[in-house]
Structure 1
């Protein structure tokens, strides 16, 4: 029997009051953290794949085992679909990659910045159940609170983030709005295939699943 997944609990009752100042501060500066040695092999793989493909690119950030990446590769069969996760253990548990699929072990923020430096625009970008960091003091660890968030937006394309924590999704939407990117928050339909193991687990546990989508300009 599959274990029941617990819902996200947080003492944060609404959008974090520090979000506007944090998002605007990051937007007015540039994230300059040096490239980590651990990310260099992935960046080289990425460059080689992009030189060979030279077509539409779809990114699946924080892809975990890569189940979602493989499914997205079938959905976007004319694009190069790239799944990125920092955990080799998770990636090693993934499915066999379709021909138009590339898995990279790296920090997603490093991949975003590298793609921006290459002036690579995305067709679509998926962030499916990244860790929401529910404690109020962890705002800076959330995707929209990270200093690399402006690089994510600069990649453009159709963006979708999903989570079983409604507040996290709404807060991401507010961060987009603060940077003049309209978005739409909605429940994820239950009559579509689960893209990730997390999504399957949350559905089986009776959670409502939320998404925020935006066409990045």
Structure 2
């Protein structure tokens, strides 16, 4: 069945003219927003589970994981890693966590819920900084189809325009961002290059298998997909 999703519509025809200035401001002043108590609790609990289940295993963070479909795929693709999927919606995470411990995949194959996976409800603005404060670094980091906030006035709501972006980059690892709006990825690349000096490239791609419900919907709707993959280690 074909999807009917629309490509983000925006008055922008290219990279936001204020992005470089916004990035410079964020780089020059530490982001000091106080942590919310529930985020501290969520981080502490997830950190305890990581230490108990897979101490020392390389970390993968699936940011804005939704129902966790991509987190499951990553945990299976990287069995020696520990995958943390984070989303601020309790409803979406509950939908993912209510999946049976054994799932029937396409073709009838039975596959167990990955033991190296943890789904966490938290605000990433705090969770990223708490990871950094704890001295943790990532091996891989995924931003899969974040809200593009396509209106011109919403630049600072996009992750690369947010004051937390320098902390996100400081977590290191191989950072992959995907979107169906090429301007979002072009801006992401500019932000990575300006703040880290690392080259970042926007490229079109077609996944072998959709990792998220959004990716599946966009493919069914005939959208072009774009990504940037940058090694920050």
Aligned partner of 1:189 in structure 2 is 206
Q: Does 1:98 align with 2:114?
A: yes
Structure 1 residue runs without a partner (length 5+): none
Aligned pairs (5 A) from 1:67-106: 67-94=69-96, 95=99, 96=101, 97-106=113-122
CA contact (8 A) 1:183 1:215 kept: no
1:188 Cα deviation from its structure 2 partner: 2.1
From 141, 146, 158, give the equivalent of 1:125: 141
Secondary structure in structure 1 of the residue aligned to 2:7: coil
Alignment partners' CA distance in 2, 1:74 and 1:28: 40
Secondary structure in structure 1 of the residue aligned to 2:206: coil
CA contact (8 A) 2:189 2:228 kept: yes
1:27 Cα deviation from its structure 2 partner: 1.2
Q: Does 1:160 align with 2:162?
A: no
Aligned partner of 1:169 in structure 2 is 185
Q: TM-score, normalised to structure 1's length?
A: 0.95
Alignment partners' CA distance in 2, 1:49 and 1:147: 29
From 62, 78, 89, give the equivalent of 1:60: 62
Aligned partner of 2:32 in structure 1 is 32
Provide the alpha-carbon RMSD of the alignment. 1.3
Secondary structure in structure 1 of the residue aligned to 2:202: strand
Aligned partner of 1:109 in structure 2 is 125
Q: Does 1:46 align with 2:62?
A: no
Alignment partners' CA distance in 2, 1:119 and 1:212: 26
Structure 2 residue runs without a partner (length 5+): 102-112
CA contact (8 A) 1:132 1:142 kept: yes
Alignment partners' CA distance in 1, 2:2 and 2:117: 30
| Stretches of 4+ aligned residues off by more than 3 angstroms | none
Task: Say which one has the larger Rg.
Answer: 2
Secondary structure in structure 2 of the residue aligned to 1:138: helix
Aligned partner of 2:160 in structure 1 is 144
From 198, 208, 211, give the equivalent of 2:214: 198
